[in-house]
């Protein structure tokens, strides 16, 4: 992979990873409500799920999911349902003392699975496959396996770093959110972000 291609990949991954989305929103919410330590499991689950999704798309199954309407809508509807469920769990937590870890927590497996329910993630993985894995400067790549490994390594780094940064922000706000009804409104705002993301997913 040339220096130009790698630079473009790094810029693309920066923009996609650090912009607000369901993963970053959830990482922030988990850390704010349960603490940074409890959010770390999700921060590790995101790059794990993303790598598996990237490998699936690299094998050509991603194009099948997006090209077959039933599969595409299945991913969309499951993803929307899951995000609405997460939003509902968020709005019910009003104070740190009332937060039920068993109710609000997201398991490692759920964090991994969430990546496969995000239609945006499928489209992103296919974009990376087409732009950096099977093509090299507009020509068929002679080393797609090596390029796939590079893309996965870069995305693992960015996926963890971005989610950890958002989780760290949530944990730093934890003390401030413990006063009055701040946590309730904070959770409501994050729930609205999740709902808006879910509705947006229906349009893509």
**Nearest Cα to 95, choosing from 194, 189, 187?**
187
Task: Compute the distance between CA of residue 55 and CA of residue 58 in angstroms, rounded to an integer.
Answer: 5
pLDDT at 3 over 50: yes
Task: Compute the distance between CA of residue 104 and CA of residue 92 in angstroms, rounded to an integer.
Answer: 9
Query: What pTM does this model have?
Result: 0.80
Average pLDDT of 140-154?
Answer: 83
Task: Compute the distance between CA of residue 152 and CA of residue 150 in angstroms, rounded to an integer.
Answer: 5
Please give the pLDDT value at position 80: 81
Question: Tokens 């919410």 label which residue?
Answer: 29
Backbone angles phi, psi at 140, to 5 degrees: -55, 130
Please give the pLDDT value at position 47: 93
Please give the pLDDT value at position 97: 45
102 vs 60 pLDDT, higher one = 60
pLDDT at 155 over 60: yes
**Residue 65 · residue 71 · CB < 8 Å:** yes
Q: Is 48 helix (H, G, I), strand (E, B) or coil?
A: helix
What tens digit of pLDDT does each residue of 44-59 get?
999 999 899 988 887 7
């Amino acid at each position: 992979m040339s220096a130009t291609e790698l630079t473009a990949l790094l810029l693309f991954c920066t923009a996609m990873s650090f912009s607000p989305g369901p993963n970053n929103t959830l990482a922030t919410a988990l850390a704010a409500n349960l603490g940074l330590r409890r959010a770390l499991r999700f921060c590790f689950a995101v790059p794990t799920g993303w790598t598996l999704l990237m490998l699936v798309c690299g094998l050509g199954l991603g194009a099948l999911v997006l090209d077959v309407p039933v599969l595409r809508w299945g991913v969309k509807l499951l993803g929307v349902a899951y995000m609405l469920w997460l939003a509902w769990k968020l709005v019910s937590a009003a104070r740190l003392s009332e937060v039920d870890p068993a109710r609000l927590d997201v398991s490692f497996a759920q964090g991994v699975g969430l990546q496969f329910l995000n239609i945006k993630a499928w489209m992103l993985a296919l974009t990376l496959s087409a732009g950096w894995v099977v093509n090299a400067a507009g020509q068929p790549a002679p080393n797609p396996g090596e390029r796939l490994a590079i893309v996965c390594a870069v995305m693992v780094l960015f996926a963890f770093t971005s989610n950890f940064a958002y989780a760290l922000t949530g944990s730093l706000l934890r003390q401030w959110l413990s006063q009055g009804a701040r946590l309730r409104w904070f959770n409501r705002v994050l729930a609205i972000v999740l709902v808006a993301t879910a509705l947006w997913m229906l349009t893509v």
